[in-house]
A = this chain, B = another copy of it.
Amino acid sequence: MTESTATLSRSETTASKIIDAAKTLFVARNYADVTTDMIASAAGVTKGGLYHHFPSKESIYSSMMLDDFESKQRLFSQSVDMKGTARERLARLTGDFLALPAEERQMAGLVRRDINIFTDGDRDRLVRAYQLALPNQIEAIIKDGIADGELAPADPRLLSWWFVSLVEVAVSRYADETLGNPETRLDRVLALFFEGAEAKPDPAMSDGGTT
């Protein structure tokens, strides 16, 4: 999972086959409805083989999530490190996200759904990894935007959560049909976040309008 193309050992290959199978299953059904037998057979091994590589069902889930968050963290950090306005950087980050295959996108939403199956320690670890991968990076950009006067002063963390939730709606099934291609979705999300839903007079012609 971590090394990309290079030769994987037999063990690593099997482990990543298991993680891949788990991904597909866990995005489609919730934790309790995915059995270890399902994961095993989808990965082309038996339960015995599966438990040779992972000590528990929970460990499969959490290592799957941690791997995913790590890769997302890397992907999105490019937009954070990039220079430009907050809007440009958020556009790139969101664009990168929308360009991901559907499965990878949906993984981001799994934490909220399944988080309560874990107990304290593991839950905190997962949540922290998630925040590192997504909200924290958006928050960094938003902080810059506020400092530069591009965004109105506000709690940056809260704003980043709001932004994430806007994007989550934009990847929903209905938005898929309504907005179509990723560029349109991207534009809508950014426009809504920056300018809101209010009707505005066209800024080109200076004098304005309704009420």
Task: Report chain B residues within 8 Å CB of A117.
Answer: 30, 33
Contact A210 B162 (CB under 8 A): no
Looking at A13-21, A52-60, A62-70, A148-156, the stretch in contact with chain B turns out to be: A148-156
Contact A210 B116 (CB under 8 A): no
Q: Select which of B30, B161, B172, B194 is within 8 A of A30 by beta carbon.
A: B30
For the complex, is A49 an interface residue (Cβ under 8 Å from B)? no
Q: So how many copies of this chain end up in the complex?
A: 2
Q: Select which of B29, B142, B159, B174 is within 8 A of A161 by beta carbon.
A: B174
With a 10 A CB-CB cut-off, give which of A30, A33, A117 has the most chain B CB atoms.
A30
For the complex, is A107 an interface residue (Cβ under 8 Å from B)? no
Contact A211 B149 (CB under 8 A): yes
State in angstroms the CA–CA spacing of A195 and B197 once bound together: 7
State in angstroms the CA–CA spacing of A116 and B29 once bound together: 6
For the complex, is A165 an interface residue (Cβ under 8 Å from B)? yes
Chain B residue, CB-CB nearest to A154: B197
Contact B161 A172 (CB under 8 A): yes
With a 10 A CB-CB cut-off, give which of A155, A162, A195 has the most chain B CB atoms.
A162
Task: Report chain B residues within 8 Å CB of A162.
Answer: 166, 169, 192, 197
For the complex, is A44 an interface residue (Cβ under 8 Å from B)? no
Q: Select which of B30, B168, B196, B210 is within 8 A of A196 by beta carbon.
A: B196
CB within 8 Å for A196 and B193 given contacts A158-B175, A210-B150: yes
